[in-house]
């Protein structure tokens, strides 16, 4: 029931300067809206984030020192003191860090600042899953039964009898899947409760767990709510966030394409009823699970997130509402400017989370320096929320989220197609990401049919293993790398009998190279013969002679290549009559060629491998051998030198081209067998490595 009298917690004060107590893309996002509203901003940064994008997005950024969250962003007293020192009226916690910390919310208010979020009491009540579940039941929110764990004597626990299987053990505090256990047999329940409690205690300082029925094939659907200090609460529709790894979301969309109209009405009405029961102020999300078909009978209330969600942009896209603006207005004591009947969803929006993780390696986080970061493949057709840019360092101390990319279209299919194209044209290098997997999901048949359950990634390992462009798209990128470096190598050649592009007019013998896509275990052997602006290419391992020295039929794939146009940054390359434009960037440092390639089909980084490694290299005295007759033009090592993988050992000129001989592994040079000017034959051992022994 709404009124004109403010509820407890209302401030009625204007916000003119805002402390954004967070890092990364959410700081950039909040600052954008604050500045549009004429609000000045203050931010903070840790030592690793001194050059971070979020530090530039605010008007004033203050150094916190330290590297880990505990040493920096979680220093509540220091952050509050900085806000006061710089004349802030309010503090926005973003998400994570302080966002659902009732104690910090109280300290912010006690310091005379406005807390942009629900009250401390609301955070405490709804932040505990058991308390929230009880409240949901009392408010007639559709949900499954709650089975509480009763503590007994001497640390023992009493588990209620008759719990239906499968069941889910959950931590009462915290989130992110910690303390959660799926149980399929009753005799496994006690162990699951004990293990979940230990993990919850370690993660949140509270080992309380409870049990509820587990929906085996479920959809994760959540409702966006916002309330003011006058009792007004509206919902802004629902989002589906079922595609998850480690119980954490990577794709979100609005509206859900997998629930019935009755289910939509039930969860939205239930979310509003629950929020009104506590006089909820600010933005929040009420989360539910429903079964595979999205039926109303299967609805199970999960929890309330008392903050802005990572996936809020899809709701903004379909409703046209700026949720951060509403947060700031409500926090300043304004009446919510929305009525439920004015909230109309239009079209469909999909968001993907680009994370610095390796899907193939079990989603292990990846750290390092970002060497390429271009997510504008769709131009202004997609929204990109990020706190990273080229040159930024991905630290092991913080969340792996790099960016969110959002597409909004009239239909779900159109949104997926637009987003897929943007991702395939994007390029991120320097860290391993899930970019290829995201692009693959958006074109997968079950996804397009809205068969998106929480088990999606387990049931579709092929999308997790996606490595980017395949088929002829991959071939075009590979050969663009091959011929871009061939042209680059000819740049300073004094011989004039070459085509204008830099290619040889005629080669009577094929050039052999082995390339690998960075981040992939696969290698791509290539043999090519050039004539003018055309080339005959064979792909695959070159044929080997049998015991009698006879080479069997060549079963490699044969393709015809034409180089249509060349610049320093792009190639127009024709593969078997099909033309593609490929952007290129060459890095020749470190002894091996590295080339980043990118087309409308996607991006791959390639590395030229040393194919001059003797198969006996692992044996005593092994080392690289010469691939074909030539002349030594440079020697980079002497006996006794220690070399790392990829280190340049020697340069051999053959067929008017320099071939870099590199170390395949860390070794110590025992002997260099040739000097500059020496003629060498195919198979000659060029450098011997010392025998390694265990001491």
User: Which pLDDT tens digit goes with each residue over 162-181?
Assistant: 888 988 888 887 666 678 88
- Same structural domain for residues 111 and 181? no
- DSSP per residue over 120-186, as a string? HHHHHHHHSHHHHHHHHHHTT------EEPEE-GGG-EEPPS---SSEEEEESS--TTTT-EEE-SG
Structure tokens at 234: 């509206």
- Same structural domain for residues 617 and 605? no
- Same structural domain for residues 533 and 642? no
- Same structural domain for residues 534 and 416? no
C-beta of residue 315 within 8 angstroms of C-beta of residue 239: yes
602-609 vs 594-599, strand pairing mode: antiparallel
Last residue of some domain: 569, 594, 609? 609
CA distance 148 to 9: 32
Q: What is the dihedral of CA 544, 550, 556, 561, to 10 degrees?
A: 100
Helix (H) or strand (E) segment spanning residue 224: strand 218-227
Last residue of some domain: 65, 81, 116? 116
Structure tokens at 444: 């997968």
CA distance 286 to 239: 10
- Same structural domain for residues 599 and 488? yes
C-beta of residue 204 within 8 angstroms of C-beta of residue 129: no
Inside any domain, residue 130: no
On the CB side of 400, how many CA atoms lie within 13 Å of its CA? 20
Query: Residue 539: which CATH number?
Result: 3.30.700.30
Q: What is the pTM of this model?
A: 0.79
Local structure of 552: helix, strand or coil: coil
- Same structural domain for residues 426 and 507? no
Helix (H) or strand (E) segment spanning residue 353: strand 348-355
Local structure of 206: helix, strand or coil: coil
Number of Cβ atoms within 10 Å of the Cβ of 679: 11
- Same structural domain for residues 562 and 450? no
Give the burial class of 503: count Cβ atoms within 10 A of its Cβ; 0-12 exposed, 13-18 middle, 19 or more buried: buried
Q: What is the pLDDT of residue 269?
A: 96
Q: What is the pLDDT of residue 151?
A: 67
- Same structural domain for residues 105 and 174? no
On the CB side of 493, how many CA atoms lie within 13 Å of its CA? 21
- Same structural domain for residues 595 and 628? no
Helix (H) or strand (E) segment spanning residue 354: strand 348-355
Name residues of the chain where pLDDT drops below 70.
1-12, 151-156, 174-177, 203, 377-379, 487-509, 521, 546, 548-549, 551, 566, 568, 588-592, 610-621, 627-629, 654-658, 682, 692-695
Q: What is the pLDDT of residue 172?
A: 81
Range of the structural domain that residue 45 is part of: 17-116
Q: What is the pLDDT of residue 60?
A: 98
- Same structural domain for residues 451 and 484? no
- Same structural domain for residues 524 and 417? no
The total domain count for the chain is 5
What's the start-to-end Cα distance of the chain, in Å?
A: 80
Strand residue runs (E) in 495-593: 511-517, 523-531, 534-539, 557-566, 570-575, 578-587
Query: Residue 81: which CATH number?
Result: 3.40.50.20
300-305 vs 233-245, strand pairing mode: unpaired
The distance from CA 369 to its chain's CA centroid, rounded to whole angstroms, is 15
CA distance 125 to 326: 23
Inside any domain, residue 309: no
Structure tokens at 505: 């007019």
Strand partners, 212: 168
Number of Cβ atoms within 10 Å of the Cβ of 600: 13
Query: Residue 652: which CATH number?
Result: 2.40.50.100
Residue ranges in 405-534 assigned as alpha helix (H): 412-424, 435-442, 445-448, 456-459, 461-464, 471-489
Q: Which long-range contacts (CB under 8 A, 24 or more apart) does 176-185 make?
A: 176/247, 176/248, 177/246, 177/247, 177/248, 178/203, 178/204, 179/203, 179/204, 179/209, 180/247, 182/214, 183/214
Q: What is the pLDDT of residue 694?
A: 44
Query: Residue 383: which CATH number?
Result: 3.30.470.20
CA distance 501 to 498: 8
- Same structural domain for residues 556 and 596? yes
Q: What is the pLDDT of residue 285?
A: 97
Last residue of some domain: 577, 609, 641? 609
pLDDT tens across 662-679, in order? Answer: 888 888 999 999 999 888
Query: Residue 163: which CATH number?
Result: 3.30.1490.20
Q: What is the pLDDT of residue 428?
A: 92
Token pair 């995201």 is found at: 438
């Amino acid at each position: 029931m709404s009124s004109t009298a403010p509820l407890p917690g209302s401030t009625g004060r204007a916000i003119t300067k805002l402390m954004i107590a967070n890092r990364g893309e959410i700081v950039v996002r909040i600052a954008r809206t604050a500045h549009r509203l004429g609000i000045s901003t203050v931010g903070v940064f840790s030592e690793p984030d001194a050059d971070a994008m979020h530090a530039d997005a605010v008007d004033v950024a203050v150094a916190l020192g330290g590297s880990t969250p505990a040493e920096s962003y979680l220093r509540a007293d220091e952050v509050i003191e900085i806000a006061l020192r710089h004349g802030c009226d309010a503090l926005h916690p973003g998400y994570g860090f302080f966002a659902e910390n009732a104690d910090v919310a109280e300290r912010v208010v006690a310091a005379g600042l406005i807390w942009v979020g629900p009250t401390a009491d609301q955070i405490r009540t709804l932040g505990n899953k058991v308390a929230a579940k009880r409240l949901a039941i009392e408010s007639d929110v559709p949900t499954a039964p709650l089975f509480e764990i009763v503590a007994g004597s001497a640390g023992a626990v009493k588990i209620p009898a008759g719990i239906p299987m499968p069941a889910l053990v959950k931590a009462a505090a915290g989130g992110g899947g910690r303390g959660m256990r799926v149980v399929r047999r009753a005799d496994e329940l006690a162990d699951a409760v004990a293990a979940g409690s230990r993990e919850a205690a370690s993660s949140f300082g509270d080992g309380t767990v409870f049990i509820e029925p587990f929906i085996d094939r479920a959809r994760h659907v959540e409702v966006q709510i916002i309330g003011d200090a006058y009792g007004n609460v509206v919902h802004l529709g629902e989002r589906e966030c079922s595609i998850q790894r480690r119980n954490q979301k990577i794709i979100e969309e609005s509206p859900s394409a997998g629930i019935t109209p009755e289910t939509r009405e039930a969860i939205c009405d239930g979310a509003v009823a629950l929020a009104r029961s506590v006089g909820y102020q600010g933005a929040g999300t009420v989360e539910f699970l429903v079964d595979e078909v999205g039926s109303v009978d299967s609805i199970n209330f999960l929890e309330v997130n008392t903050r802005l969600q990572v996936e809020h942009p899809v709701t903004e896209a379909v409703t046209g509402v700026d949720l951060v603006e509403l947060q700031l207005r409500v926090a300043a004591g304004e009446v919510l400017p929305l009525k439920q009947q004015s909230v109309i969803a239009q079209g469909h929006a999909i968001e993907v989370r680009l994370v610095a993780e390796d899907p193939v390696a079990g989603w292990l986080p990846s750290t390092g320096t970002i060497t390429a970061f271009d997510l504008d493949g769709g131009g202004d057709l997609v929204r990109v929320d990020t706190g990273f840019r080229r040159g930024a360092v991905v630290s092991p101390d913080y969340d792996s989220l790099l960016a969110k990319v959002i597409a909004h279209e009239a239909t779900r299919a159109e949104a997926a197609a637009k987003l897929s194209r943007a991702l395939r044209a994007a390029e991120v290098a320097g860290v391993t990401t899930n970019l290829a997997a995201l692009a693959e999901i958006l074109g997968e048949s079950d996804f397009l049919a809205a068969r998106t359950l929480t088990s999606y990634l387990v049931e579709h390992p092929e999308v997790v293993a996606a490595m980017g462009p395949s088929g002829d798209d991959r071939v075009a990128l590979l050969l663009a790398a091959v011929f871009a470096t061939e042209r680059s190598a000819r740049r300073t050649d004094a011989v004039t009998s070459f085509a204008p592009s830099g290619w040889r007019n005629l080669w009577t013998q094929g050039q052999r190279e082995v390339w690998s896509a960075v981040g992939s275990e696969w290698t791509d052997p290539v043999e090519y013969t050039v004539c003018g602006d055309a080339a005959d290419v064979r792909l695959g391992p070159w044929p080997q002679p049998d015991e009698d020295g006879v080479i069997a039929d060549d079963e490699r794939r044969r393709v015809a290549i034409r180089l249509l146009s060349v610049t320093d940054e792009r190639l127009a390359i024709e593969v078997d009559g099909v033309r593609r434009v490929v952007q290129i960037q060459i890095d020749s440092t470190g002894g091996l060629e590295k080339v980043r390639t990118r087309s409308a089909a996607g991006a791959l980084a390639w590395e030229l491998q040393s194919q001059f490694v003797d198969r006996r290299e692992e044996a005593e005295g092994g080392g690289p051998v010469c691939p074909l007759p030539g002349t030594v033009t440079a020697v980079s090592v002497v006996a006794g030198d220690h070399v790392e993988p990829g280190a340049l050992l020697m340069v051999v000129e053959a067929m008017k081209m320099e071939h870099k001989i590199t170390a395949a592994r860390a070794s110590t040079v025992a002997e260099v067998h040739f000097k500059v000017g020496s003629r060498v034959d195919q198979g000659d051992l060029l450098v011997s490595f010392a025998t390694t022994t265990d001491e």
